[in-house]
Amino acid sequence: MKKILVLICLTVLILLLGGCSQDEAAKTVGIRFNELMDEDYNISKRVEDLDGKKVSMTGFMAMQSPLDGSFIYLTNAPLVSCPYCIPGTSTPISTIPAIAPDGKPITYTEQPVTIIGVLEVEDKTDRFGYTTPFRINVESLSIADASILPQSIKEYSMLASDGVIMDVLILLDQLTTYTSYNPWKHDPSMIYPIDIEEIDRLSKKVKRYGVPSYNALVDILQRTKDLSIEVNKLIESDQKDQMINYAEEGIFIWYAYFAWADEMATLE
């Protein structure tokens, strides 16, 4: 009889603990970017109702985030350098600030992340001049679970986790800086040949995956290589002032890369 009572007590305890765990999970509400604001760019009723509640969101870290990691802009698209704003205002859309806990700065990553924290609904202006009506006070941040992501985002994340996304961005940044901003006028020592072998390495690496959606990226890398060869010729012949003639092509390649990333990985 005592054994039966012990088993009953253990069963009840397990059910109670399981119930608490489920209740805790149920308290966290998932939000999508298209639920943040209504069609008139006002805070949605759903967000107002969740003020002070624990929420979770999955998105990408905007590149324009403080170096100290005190907060980030969580956006619905990868490689965002400036959070999208409502026309004529400084209020971001498809963006929500995520405030790091005290003493726990957020480290930037190109991979999609899932943030859990308390939603705060109140107008505040940050150090970059953006006025946001809401934000998440972060309790936890982790790389998003790939199993719940659309296939195209899984494929994008595979390149991001392998360092390809940032490596390509660094190359394109160098190329467009040379062709669009005349940096040689300010500091000639800043100008050095673009690494063609690095472009070839990245191209081969992307091809080895054998993923059809990467074909557009391979084409972008080939265009980057072709233009970089021409730019390097100007650098080697000390005709740096002629690099500006390739500004349009450099910008086209830059935008093609961002368009590819958006198509691969934009979240609702």
HEC readout, 87-152: CCCCCECCEEEEECCCCCCCCCCCCCEEEEEEEEEEEEECCCCCEEEEEEEEEEEEECCHHHCCHH
- 10 Å Cβ neighbour count for 38? 12
- End-to-end Cα, the chain, rounded Å: 58
State the pLDDT at residue 134.
Answer: 93
Regarding whether 164 and 189 lie in a shared domain, the answer is: yes
CATH of the domain at 81: 2.40.50.870
Backbone angles phi, psi at 134, to 5 degrees: -155, 165
Domain assignment of residue 47, yes or no: yes
Domain assignment of residue 197, yes or no: yes
Regarding whether 167 and 256 lie in a shared domain, the answer is: yes
Regarding whether 257 and 165 lie in a shared domain, the answer is: yes
Regarding whether 170 and 260 lie in a shared domain, the answer is: yes
Domain assignment of residue 187, yes or no: yes
**Final residue in a domain of this structure, among 144, 174, 205:** 144
Closest CA to 166 of 66, 61, 58: 61
Q: How far apart are CA 103 and CA 124, in angstroms?
A: 21
State the pLDDT at residue 80.
Answer: 75
Residues of the chain with pLDDT under 50: 1-25, 87
Amino acid sitting at position 182: N
Backbone angles phi, psi at 93, to 5 degrees: -120, 160
**Final residue in a domain of this structure, among 117, 144, 171:** 144
Regarding whether 251 and 194 lie in a shared domain, the answer is: yes
Let me know: does 91 contact 130? Beta carbons within 8 Å.
Answer: yes
Regarding whether 197 and 260 lie in a shared domain, the answer is: yes
Determine what percent of the chain falls in helix, strand and coil, rounding each to the nearest 5: 50, 20, 30
β-strand partners of 98: 72, 136
Regarding whether 175 and 134 lie in a shared domain, the answer is: no
Regarding whether 161 and 128 lie in a shared domain, the answer is: no
Residue 138, phi-psi category: left (phi > 0), alpha (psi -120 to 50), beta (remainder):
beta
Regarding whether 58 and 159 lie in a shared domain, the answer is: no
Helix (H, G, I), strand (E, B) or coil at 32: coil
Regarding whether 139 and 39 lie in a shared domain, the answer is: yes
pLDDT tens across 182-212, in order?
Answer: 776 767 777 889 999 999 999 999 999 999 9
**Final residue in a domain of this structure, among 111, 144, 177:** 144
Q: How far apart are CA 268 and CA 264, in angstroms?
A: 12
- 10 Å Cβ neighbour count for 264? 23
Which range marks the domain in which residue 249 is found?
151-265
What is the maximal distance between C-alpha atoms in the chain? 95
Domain assignment of residue 95, yes or no: yes
State the pLDDT at residue 237.
Answer: 93
Cβ neighbours for 185, distance < 8 A, ≥ 6 positions apart? none
Side-chain half-sphere of 9: how many Cα atoms within 13 Å? Answer: 6
Domain assignment of residue 140, yes or no: yes
Q: How far apart are CA 257 and CA 214, in angstroms?
A: 11
Regarding whether 101 and 123 lie in a shared domain, the answer is: yes
Domain assignment of residue 16, yes or no: no
Radius of gyration of the chain (CA): 24
* Counted domains in the chain: 2
State the pLDDT at residue 103.
Answer: 79
Domain assignment of residue 164, yes or no: yes
CA distances from 205 to 175, 196, 249 (A): 20, 14, 24
Regarding whether 161 and 233 lie in a shared domain, the answer is: yes
Domain assignment of residue 15, yes or no: no
